[in-house]
Structure 1
């Protein structure tokens, strides 16, 4: 049996992107909910929960973006011209956020300004990522393997709605992460905030999910025609179950359950996207096989990835293991 390396690489890049979403999602989420915690003491505690790991979380973004350029060069050359502005804003926001994260500790008199910068960078990065996703879902105009749309095609009501949905999702990840890693007043306020964010996120996912099948006939067929309709019918039910688990865990004062259930919401949403997109990498325009680089390139890059990916997974897992447990203001991790 011959293995199609283009689909192997699609799975690798999909995994790298998803790893970035869930790992960098909660530390972006902490920045997004910063305004709900006006006290310096609370904000220091919140940033301490991600200080040992947040740099490593962004490794997956580099791997996903770099892998896309190397393995699916037509996608890179089509998608980036279509999304230059939101991608540039996202990258600048991530840089701005990283600077703010460091400088808020070093400039005490003006730390509140860096806190605003941290919130703004986190929020803009999340919204732009959601807008990028929304633009891919609504479709990119392609002619002769080149972008054929306008400068502002990425800006639509649907893409903005996707941006707000991802903003709410990251905020919920951040709140449930803090519920896991903190105690006392901060944890209590995160539990209350997470309940509201869960309801908001479900509402936004519901609107996006109802809207999506009517954007493109391909999506409608994926969701409502046999045999994919059989699998897609389980996604809304499982989403509702995960949302209930989040709310029940928060109500019962559990630490880990709300965070894991929130991750479940992201996993199911990602699976829903996979059902809609497959086998296209640019929906309706370019399939995974059509966009793949030559076989020799795929083989060469796969050999390097076979070493690189386990290394990243190992040091990421080790970092989270070393800094497991709750954070207390007086003595850090314990």
Structure 2
């Protein structure tokens, strides 16, 4: 049990993070693209596509954070002690975005200002998440008592991953608009897709080529044993997926395809990252088993997870099913 429980919990946390990225990513993408809305009516339509379902997306973020604290308290302490400011920035930005999302529908004279707040909160939250990802991948000290200085996470690599995630979420947002809208807004979303594909591919290539040179141990892990055989198909799969997405952006009769391919692009990048860092939960050297809590604690919490996770999945699937289909221009959920 002491061997497989940490692996199971790692899978649960990875699944929770991925679900958050995929489900809240397109809402953050809508906020990022809000700056390019033609007018307030078009921004209304953009926000109405996510209005019925966006509230539940943070559930997955809470699941990932709570799972990390319960199953890997040492990793939780290391990450929080080193990334306190980026985490705080993300939470403030998410609150700011949520308030703006709700208040904008009720505002009259200040509607434009709340639209700007929605965009600003979304961009900052996306950038902060990418910043944390870059700092974790770059490596954190294994002893929380030896946490770096307050701004040690402020590195070129972390900043690059922050910008990359902003473009990635914008791609998810544009593909979501193709799926959920008609007319001029869908046409504009198709125009946004291709520049965003180019930007995301450029950042994926930059980050992937940069990653092995951050630390000699990372490069060694990439080329040891069978790991390289697992990683080598990833660039080809990403490129094929990007080409299919490029072509799907021009297809007028397959509105779901760009959205599914955007999801596939994110999933491939996430899987490649996990393979490259395995078996560490906090690079460069803290493994799953070194960071895990006692098996009795992990097992006790796992029982609750087995009960709770199907409920979350069921509610999420039900809500997306109820509000499936496209919205009509000028209508929405208020």
Separation of aligned partners in 2, 1:286 and 1:146: 15
Aligned residues: 332
SS in 2 for 1:88: helix
C-alpha separation in 2, matches of 1:227 and 1:66: 33
Secondary structure in 1 matching 2:50: coil
Instruction: Identify which range, 215-224 or 242-251, moves more after superposition.
Output: 215-224
Write out per-residue CA displacement over residues 236-278 of structure 1, whole angstroms, 9 at most, x where no aligned residue: 0000011111111011222011111111111111111111211
C-alpha distance in structure 1 between counterparts of 2:116 and 2:38, whole Å: 11
Could you tell me how far apart the structure 2 residues matched to 1:69 and 1:147 are?
A: 19
Cross-structure match for 2:142: 142
What are the within-5 Å matches in structure 2 for residues 18-37 of structure 1? 18-37=18-37
Deviates more, 1:161-170 or 1:323-332: 323-332
Equivalents in 2 of 1:91, 1:120: separation in Å? 13
Q: Give the TM-score of the pair, scaled to structure 1.
A: 0.96
* Larger displacement relative to structure 2 (53-62 or 324-333): 324-333
The 10-residue stretch of structure 1 (7-16 or 244-253) with the greater mean CA deviation from structure 2: 244-253
More off after superposition, 214-223 vs 87-96: 214-223
Q: Which has the higher contact order (CA 8 A, sep 6+)?
A: 2
TM-score by length of 2: 0.96
Contact 1:222 1:275 in 2 (8 A): no
Cα 1:294–1:19, aligned 2, differ >3 Å: closer, same or farther? same
Structure 1 position 3, deviation (Å): 5.8
Note the C-alpha offset of 1:60.
Answer: 0.3
1:114 aligns with 2:111: no
- The CA deviation at 1:142 is 2.8
Q: In 2, distance between residues paired with 1:329 and 1:37?
A: 14
Q: For 1:104-253, list aligned pairs within 5 A.
A: 104-143=104-143, 146-253=145-252
1:311-331 Cα distance to aligned partner (Å, 9 max, x none): 000000000011111111255
1: CA distance, partners of 2:46 / 2:198:
23
CA distance in 2, matches of 1:213, 1:309: 35
- Specify whether residues 311 and 195 from structure 1 end up closer, same or farther in structure 2 by C-alpha distance, changes over 3 A only: same
- Tell me whether 77-86 or 134-143 shows the greater mean CA deviation: 134-143
Instruction: Please give the secondary structure, in 1, of the residue aligned with 2:281.
Output: strand
Q: Deviation of residue 20 (structure 1)?
A: 0.3
Q: What are structure 1's unaligned runs of at least 5 residues?
A: none
Rounded to whole Å, the distance in 1 between the matches of 2:182 and 2:273 is 35
Whether the 8 Å contact between 1:81 and 1:147 is mirrored in structure 2 is no
* C-alpha contact 1:71 1:292 (8 A) present in aligned 2: yes
* 1:264-312 CA-partner distances (Å, limit 9, x unpaired): 1111111111112111001123110111111111111000000110000
Deviates most, 240-249 or 124-133: 240-249
Deviation at 1:332, TM superposition (A): 4.3
Question: Helix, strand or coil for the counterpart of 1:129?
Answer: helix
Q: CA deviation at 1:151?
A: 1.2
2:46 paired with 1:51: no
Q: CA 1:147–1:246 in 2, change beyond 3 Å: closer, same or farther?
A: farther
